[in-house]
């Protein structure tokens, strides 16, 4: 179920960037056919390519209230303002799982120089002015409007309150 939600979040972000469909290329034997079919993808050629149409956006709140903690809002990444906060929240979330540094400010600067970097694809979640969550959908092929998702992170101090689910489902 969480995998389907991530796929749906990627669909939402691709739609926001103007895409009309989302391609997914998978290798034989990964066991992802059923998951992707359940998320609305269908086979379109012999390269194991699956494609899903993207429905028009639905209006939904950009904030969530967590009892006893407060209000959390979602906004787009701003170049020149959010690099350090983005690196920090991704690093904190992944360090807990891996035990080592996951992202630095230098990594973000390198990402900003990539051919496909588009700050509109990065969503940040804030609480009392502090970035506590992120997700990045990167447009890989601007002509075909194909993208990939990553850097999905919730600060460990704020996990287990449904914030990740909210971030994944925002505007879906």
Q: Of 101, 70, 83, 58, whose CA–CA distance to 163 is shortest?
A: 70
Backbone phi, then psi, for 48, in 5-degree steps? 65, 30
Sequence-ordered list of residues with C-beta below 8 angstroms from that of 44, at least 6 positions apart, any chain:
50, 51
Detail the DSSP E strand segments found in the chain: 21-25, 42-43, 49-53, 63-66, 70-76, 122-127, 130-141, 146-154
Please name every residue paired with 43 in a beta bridge, in sequence order, or none if there are none: 50
pLDDT at 60: 47
Q: Of 57, 71, 72, whose CA–CA distance to 125 is shortest?
A: 72
Cα Rg, the chain, nearest whole Å: 16
pLDDT at 162: 85
Distance separating alpha carbons of residues 129 and 119, to the nearest angstrom? 19
Sequence-ordered list of residues with C-beta below 8 angstroms from that of 85, at least 6 positions apart, any chain:
124, 130, 131
pLDDT at 130: 94
pLDDT at 15: 73
pLDDT at 140: 67
| pTM higher than 0.95 | no
Q: Which residues of the chain have pLDDT under 70?
A: 1-4, 6, 18-39, 41-61, 139-147, 170-172
Distance separating alpha carbons of residues 149 and 135, to the nearest angstrom? 7
pLDDT at 59: 46
């Amino acid at each position: 179920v969480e995998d389907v939600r991530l796929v749906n979040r990627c669909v939402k972000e691709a739609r926001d960037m103007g895409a009309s469909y989302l391609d997914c290329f998978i290798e034989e034997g990964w066991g992802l056919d059923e998951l992707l079919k359940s998320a609305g993808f269908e086979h379109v050629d012999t390269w194991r390519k699956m494609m899903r149409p993207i429905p028009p956006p639905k209006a939904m709140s950009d904030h969530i209230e967590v009892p006893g903690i407060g209000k959390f809002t979602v906004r787009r990444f701003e170049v020149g303002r959010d690099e350090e906060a983005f690196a920090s929240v991704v690093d904190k979330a992944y360090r807990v799982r891996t035990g080592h540094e996951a992202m630095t400010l230098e990594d973000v600067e390198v990402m900003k120089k990539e051919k496909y970097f588009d700050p509109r694809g990065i969503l940040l979640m804030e609480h009392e002015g502090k970035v506590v969550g992120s997700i990045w959908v990167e447009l890989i092929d601007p002509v075909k409007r194909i993208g990939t998702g990553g850097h999905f992170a919730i600060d460990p101090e704020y996990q287990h309150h449904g914030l990740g689910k909210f971030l994944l489902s925002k505007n879906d």
